[in-house]
Amino acid sequence: MGQTLDIAIAGAGIGGLATATFLARQGHAVRVFDQFEAPQPIGSGLMLQPTGLAVLSKLGLRREIDRLGSRIDRLWGLTAPSGRAVLDVRYGKWKPDLYGLGVQRTMLFDQILAAAIESGGQLIPSTEIASADAQSGTLETTSGKTLGPFDLVVDGLGVHSPLTRNPRKELPYGALWATLPWPENGPFEATALEQRYRAASQMTGVMASGRANKNAPLSLTYFWSIRADREAAWRAEPLDQWKTRATELWPDTRGLVDQFSDHDDLTFARYRHRTHPRPVAGPRLVHIGDAWHAASPQLGQGANMALLDAWALAQAIGRGGDMPGALAAYRRSRIGHVRLYQIMTYLFTPVYQGDSRVMPWLRDWLAAPISKIWPAPQLLAAMVSGLIGSPLGRLGLRD
C-alpha cells in the first residue's frame, strides 16, 4: 500500500480505539464513529493479561496503566460449604515475572481514548452504524446517511454488531456487578481474584480493580453470578433476601453487600458466545474483538483479545501491499489463537457457571486435585495468561 489510507472504525470500544491509535500513528486518516454523544465504556472492571499488557506497551500506556491498576498474582476459588479449594492459579507457576492487572474499565478506556486523539484519530460521535458494504467500503447510518467510501472499514461494534449476520449464542448465565471502594484492612487478598462457589449455580467474586485516576481511591469489582432468566425475579424480590444468600455463600462480603440499598446499585451483564467464521468480509471490511469472537469472561480474555487484534491488524497494514493481502495476513496471524481460546472458554464455562450437578462434582473431586500435580499448575497459568498458542511471538510482541 504505502499511501495514506482513509480508514473508518465503527465503534469506540477498547479494540476500536487501540486500532485507531496504531493506524493514525502510521499516518493514515482514521475516523472513529461512535453511537454516543460522548464516548463511554460499557462493562465492569476487567483483568488485563500479559497479552493485553504487551499491546499496551506498544501503545506507550503500560507504565501509567500499571500504576493505576492492581497487580493480580493469583486466581483463587473455594467451594461452599466445605471451603475446599477448587481453583488456584498462580501466574508465577508459568513464568516468575508474569501477572495480571485488575483495572477499572473507565480508566483503561480513558487512557486509550486520549492516545487515539493525540495520535490524530478523529472521533465522530452520535453516529449509529446500521450496515456496511464490504465491496465499496461505505457505511450506512440508522438515519439513512451514507458515509465513505473508505479504503477500509473496521468493525469494532462488539457482539451486537449489525455488520455481521453470524448469530450469537446466548449463554444461560451472566453476572450482577458493581464497583466499590477497596476496604482498608479488609478480609480480601489484594493480589488475588477471589471467588466462592456453591456447585456451579451460585458464584460470587471480588477483584481489586485499581484506581479510576491518580487522585481516586482504590476500588474493587464485586460480582454475583445469576441466570439471565432469573434477573427479573431477582429485581422483584426484596433486596435483603438476596443479601442473605450472598453473605451465606461468602460471609466476608457482608461489608460489601450492605452498601447496596437498591437493585439498581448492581448492573447485570449477559454473557454470549460467538465466533464469526469470516473475520475478513470482502476486500474492505474486517471484524475485530467481540464482533469477531465473543465469549464468557471466565478466562478473562475479552479486552486482551481485542487489543491483540488491534496490534495484528495494524502490523499487517503497516507492512504494505494491497488491502486484501494485508487482511489475509491479519486473519492468519490471529485465527489459531482465537479458535483455541474460543474452544477453551466454551468448554470451561459450565464448570464454574451452570446448572449441571455432574460438572461441579468432577471439578471438586477430580479436576481440582489433578490441577495441583505437575504440569497442571504451569498449564493453568499459561491458559489464564492467554499465552497458550504463543500469540506474542507470532505477533512480534515477545519481550
Q: What pLDDT is recorded for position 1?
A: 54
Question: Other C-beta atoms within 10 Å of 122: how many?
Answer: 14
How far CA 361 is from CA of 352, 356, 367, 374, in Å, comes to: 11, 9, 9, 22
What is the pTM for the complete model shown? 0.96
C-alpha cell at 251: 460471609
User: What is the residue-level pLDDT of the chain in tens, covering all 399 positions?
Assistant: 568 999 999 999 999 999 999 999 999 999 999 999 988 887 889 999 999 999 999 999 999 999 999 999 999 999 998 899 999 999 999 999 999 999 999 999 999 999 999 999 999 999 999 999 999 999 999 999 999 999 999 999 999 999 987 777 889 999 999 999 999 999 999 999 999 999 999 999 999 999 999 999 999 999 999 999 999 999 999 999 999 999 999 999 999 999 999 999 999 999 999 888 899 999 999 999 999 999 999 888 999 999 999 999 999 999 989 999 999 999 999 999 999 999 999 998 999 999 999 999 999 998 889 899 999 999 999 999 999 999 999 999 975
Domain at 6-168+272-394: CATH code: 3.50.50.60
Task: Find, among 119, 116, 168, 137, the residue nearest to 275 by Cα.
Answer: 168
Length of the chain equals 399
Dihedral of the alpha carbons of 164, 169, 170, 172, in degrees to the nearest 10:
-170
Angle, CA 120 vertex, CA 119 and CA 122 arms, to 5°: 130
The edge-to-edge listing of strands for the beta sheet with 267-275 is: 84-90, 74-79, 192-198, 202-208, 219-227, 169-181, 267-275, 293-294
